[in-house]
Amino acid sequence: MKVITEALEFSTRTHRAYLNVTPEVTRIVERSGVREGLCYVGSLHTTAAVFVNDDEEGLLADLDERLEALAPFSPEYRHHKTGETNGDSHLKSLLLHPQVIVPVTEGKLDLGTWQRIFYAEFDGRRRKGVRVKVIGE
């Protein structure tokens, strides 16, 4: 069994951002040499998420709008009493989830036609990242 672990780092210019990381993850899977297995992609931060969906501008705008409605930026979060200002970012991360596992079949990510892997940043403008782990044979 082969196991490869790599890190991807990001520094977004905006507070919230949705980055299609599929090309980077694809390269890691290819380098791993794994033909059949699993690819884990997980955020290293509690104010970010990883998800699979369509890379379509309108859909991403709708997602951002809905997340902001469900967990709006507000000074009222109890978390802010700790000196932080990112209570909404933690909640948005929980709504999407911090990681995904994608099958690897015949050496490729087994994604549907329109599916892509995204890193969602909810408390940006500093270095953050994800861990990618490919396991299989």
Number of domains making up the chain = 1
Q: What one-character-per-residue DSSP string does 42-88 give?
A: EESSTTEEEEEEE--HHHHHHHHHHHHHHS---TT-GGGGGT---HH
Q: CATH no. for residue 47?
A: 2.60.120.460
- The one-digit pLDDT tens for each residue of the chain (137 residues) are 999 999 999 999 999 999 999 999 999 999 999 999 999 999 999 999 999 999 999 999 999 999 999 999 998 999 988 998 899 999 999 999 999 999 999 999 999 999 999 999 999 988 999 999 999 99
Give the domain extent around 36: 2-136
